[in-house]
Amino acid sequence: MTDNATQTTQEEIIYLRPSRGWSALNLRDLWRYRELTYFLTWRDIKVRYKQTVLGAGWAIIQPLVNMVVLSIIFGNFANMPTDGIPRPLFTYSALLPWGLFAKALSDSGRSMLSNRSMITKVYFPRLIIPLASVLGGLMDFAIQFVILLGMMLYYQYYPTTAVLTLPLFILLALVTALGVGLWLSALNVLYRDIGYILPFLTQLWLFLTPVGYSISVVPEQWRFLYSLNPMVGVVEGFRWALLGTGNAPGPMIFASAGISVFLLISGMYYFRRMERNFADMV
Amino acid sequence: MTNTAILAENIGKQYRIGVQSNSYRTLRDSLVDIAQWPIRILRDGMARPVERIWALENVSFEVKKGEVLGVIGRNGAGKSTLLKILSRVTEPTTGYAEIHGRVGSLLEVGTGFHPELTGRENIALNGAILGMRRKDIDRKFDEIVDFSGVEKFIDTPVKRYSSGMYLRLAFAVAAHLEPEILVVDEVLAVGDAEFQRKCLGKMSAVASEGRTVLFVSHNMSAILRLTQEAIVLDKGQMLLRAPSAQAVDYYLTSGFAQTGEHVWQPDEVPATAKPFRPIALRVCNQNGKVVDTARSTEPTLLEFEYQLEQEIIGLRVGIYILTTQGELIFTSFDTDDQAEYDRYATRPAGKFISRCEIPADLLNEGRYILGVNASSFRVKRYFQDEYALAFTVDPTGAPGMQWQEPRLGPIRPRLKWQIEEYS
């Protein structure tokens, strides 16, 4: 009964009117629909490995295959340095955050179209859809992380207290992916070309990130520009936090974090601006 | 605190023409547009050469708390657009609306259902999409499963469900939504008679609980049963708001529900039909006016217009009436009568209309399919179109309307009953 009483005294009124230009982010609404975010994330995770023979095994196989391929290309052919770390460990420790980022980017970029039936039938803050796609990658990441721990044990690398900073780098990868994903998913509603551009973008980005090679091969005069790529900070930070190599992230990490946050906020505003037309255009 | 649940003022929605069929642009189109922009400005001035239509224009109304309002109108009248605006799926282009309370919208059953997930998982997901809180979903879970009648398959992926089971589960979730304002679109148009009865029963329960409901339907008897008042939309305009009986009557008799006609274009007719050429098929009321909705209490005329390019021996032209589930109700031919049969043993070249009358008090309420056929018995079938036209039968005034339940069976004759008391 008390529950009812509080509900009736706090009647909410929704105003509907045409909006023009930029609108507020309405984060309160996003918070109210947090359970839906949870359910959509859970659905993405659940559905992904249904009807596959290996199920969650794919989460393990994908980065391992990538590791072998990249190790051969950058190690045996290009002979890139690894700063003294065993090459498999060197590559895999970078593939982990990279995989999280790449998957989040491509899933969120396509998310508006794959959820079109919901968008045209029910109201909810649309921002939830790319957000849930980004979070959906965390499960794979967790599984892959266990493998990484096994590899570290095998190569006898033991983490120091630096490992405590790891969540920050994960967060940075997610924020970057969501920021870019928001731009792309909103653009994808307008221009289906985005679906074709995404794979190229991801691949190009991979080569601009020190996954298969060490940042030490980048010429000094290009280093600053290169480090503006937030994923450079993430990957380098990951290796530093786990394997204790390279230098502790310096001021550059703040620059790249700043760029990610800028991407996120601008992406959110752009997404909000486009949101009102999604149901009519998707 | 006011007594208003929904207040809409001059709500309008404009769509770009062609948005439906070609709803997205490629980057290339935009680049071309940008490149041509200066030329366009020079040529057309600043006006944008895009054609737009108003799907909804200047619609204003108010719904009080606890009121059940019906929305009627034919396809393309703007009903769905109105519901989409009120349920916040899309924004109005003009106007303003206020909604007091939590809205639950059912524009479709099973929104967000994922075929790979089990019934149990889809209940949770669909509930969340419809705006239920997790604890409410957990609390009502057993009730939902019970209502759906799919207990045995609750841990089976829904892709293995029959379409009936799928619908029942989807509706069960929706039926347990408890918003203050419920917005419902044509949910009842799907599923079998049993399912429709269940839906209608649940809807009446919701309506009688004092919830505010906005209800769109093609089913006039559902509108009459569930709503006190209704608004009539046509071509985006609101024509009328009146007590439901009056609004339904207006809708049915004003004759703007004119889709009761099928005209064959020359390229729709197969070459094998020669020398028979169908022209048009119409459903008319007793005044000869083409209607989409026939009244069961009045005779309905069916007209089939055709041309014979040369004479045909023993031609018979017939109609079929089927239910929307495809069951044949009856067949009838224009030369069934012996005298007509003898008279038209050979039908000369020329234009003809074969016309018949479905008597009053024959068809039950519902939607029916009208098919046509032209053949010479055991010689040749010239032309056949089993689904030429669909029309609706409205039961207003039909026998037994005092009971608020759908009457089963495709026919609803007015039988002469006598009640005799004996001791």
- Per-residue confidence of chain B (423 residues) as pLDDT tens digits? 578 899 999 999 988 764 333 445 667 777 777 776 666 655 554 444 567 788 899 999 999 988 999 998 876 788 889 999 998 899 999 999 999 988 888 887 788 889 889 999 999 999 998 888 889 899 999 999 998 888 999 999 999 998 788 888 888 888 888 888 888 887 665 666 677 777 778 777 877 888 898 988 866 667 877 888 999 998 889 999 999 888 877 776 564 444 688 888 887 788 788 899 999 999 999 888 888 889 999 999 999 999 999 999 999 999 989 876 667 899 999 999 999 999 999 999 999 999 999 999 999 988 888 889 999 988 888 998 877 788 889 888 889 888 888 888 889 999 999 999 998
Identity of the residue in A17, A38, A118 whose CB atom sits nearest the CB atom of B111: A118
**Would the pLDDT of A204 be above 90?**
yes
**Is A16–B87 a contact, with Cβ atoms under 8 angstroms apart?**
no
Interface of B with A in 65-124 (CB under 8 A): 84-103, 105, 107-108, 111-112, 114, 116-117, 121, 124
**Is B88–A16 a contact, with Cβ atoms under 8 angstroms apart?**
yes
Distance from CA of B304 to the nearest CA of A (A): 40
Residues B126 and B143: their CA atoms lie apart, in Å, by: 15
- What pLDDT score was predicted for residue B368? 85
- What pLDDT score was predicted for residue B183? 87
Beta bridge partner(s), residue A14? B99
* Higher pLDDT among residues B189 and A67, named by residue: A67
CA atoms within 13 A on the CB side of B101: 24
**Would the pLDDT of A248 be above 80?**
no
Task: List the single residue in A with minimal CA-CA distance to B3.
Answer: A11
Distance of CA A8 to the CA centre of its chain: 41
Rg (CA), chain A: 21
Q: Which residue has the tokens 């049963």?
A: B225
- What pLDDT score was predicted for residue B25? 61
Q: How far apart are the first and last CA of chain B?
A: 62
Q: Are strands B229-234 and B68-72 parallel, antiparallel or unpaired?
A: parallel
Beta carbons of A169 and A230 less than 8 angstroms apart: no
- Among B10, B125, B173, the residue to mutate for chain A (most A Cβ within 10 A): B125
B157 has a chain A CB within 8 A of its CB = yes
Distance from CA of B11 to the nearest CA of A (A): 9
- Among A48, A123, A192, the residue to mutate for chain B (most B Cβ within 10 A): A123
Q: Which ranges of B254-405 would DSSP assign to H, the alpha helix? A: 338-343
Structure tokens at A219: 């010429």
Residues A173 and A105: their CA atoms lie apart, in Å, by: 10
- What pLDDT score was predicted for residue B189? 58
**Would the pLDDT of A229 be above 50?**
yes
**Would the pLDDT of A104 be above 60?**
yes
Residues A252-278 have a mean pLDDT of 90
**Would the pLDDT of A135 be above 80?**
yes
Identity of the residue in B25, B96, B100 whose CB atom sits nearest the CB atom of A191: B25
Enter the ipTM.
0.82
- What pLDDT score was predicted for residue B21? 39
**Is B28–A18 a contact, with Cβ atoms under 8 angstroms apart?**
no
- Among B2, B3, B93, B129, the residue to mutate for chain A (most A Cβ within 10 A): B129
Residues A10-28 have a mean pLDDT of 80
Task: List the single residue in B with minimal CA-CA distance to A15.
Answer: B98
- What pLDDT score was predicted for residue B356? 94
Distance from CA of A270 to the nearest CA of B (A): 17
Task: List the single residue in A with minimal CA-CA distance to B179.
Answer: A7
Beta carbons of A73 and A65 less than 8 angstroms apart: no
Structure tokens at A98: 């990279």
**Chain A residues with CB within 8 Å of chain B CB:** 11-19, 35-36, 38-40, 42-43, 46-47, 50-51, 115, 117-124, 189-193, 276, 279-282
- Among A51, A280, A281, A282, the residue to mutate for chain B (most B Cβ within 10 A): A280
Identity of the residue in A38, A119, A193 whose CB atom sits nearest the CB atom of B26: A193
**Is A124–B121 a contact, with Cβ atoms under 8 angstroms apart?**
no
Residues A149-158 have a mean pLDDT of 89
- What pLDDT score was predicted for residue B255? 45
Which residues does chain B have within 8 Å of residue A40's beta carbon, measured at their own beta carbons? 125, 128
Distance from CA of B136 to the nearest CA of A (A): 12
Structure tokens at A2: 């008390």
Instruction: Look at residues A81, A78, A79 and name the one whose alpha carbon lies nearest to residue A216.
Output: A81
Beta carbons of A130 and A264 less than 8 angstroms apart: no
Residues B59 and B232: their CA atoms lie apart, in Å, by: 11
The CB density around residue A202, as the number of other CB atoms within 10 Å, is 16
The confidence band for A2, taking pLDDT boundaries of 50, 70 and 90, is very low
- What pLDDT score was predicted for residue A88? 87
**Is A16–B85 a contact, with Cβ atoms under 8 angstroms apart?**
yes
Distance from CA of A107 to the nearest CA of B (A): 17
Task: List the single residue in B with minimal CA-CA distance to A41.
Answer: B125
Residues A122-151 have a mean pLDDT of 92
Size of interface A-B (CB pairs under 8 A): 120
- Per 3-state DSSP, chain B is made up of helix, strand and coil in percentages (nearest 5) of 30, 35, 35
- What pLDDT score was predicted for residue B351? 95
Q: How far is CA B233 from CA A157, B75, B165, in A?
A: 73, 10, 34
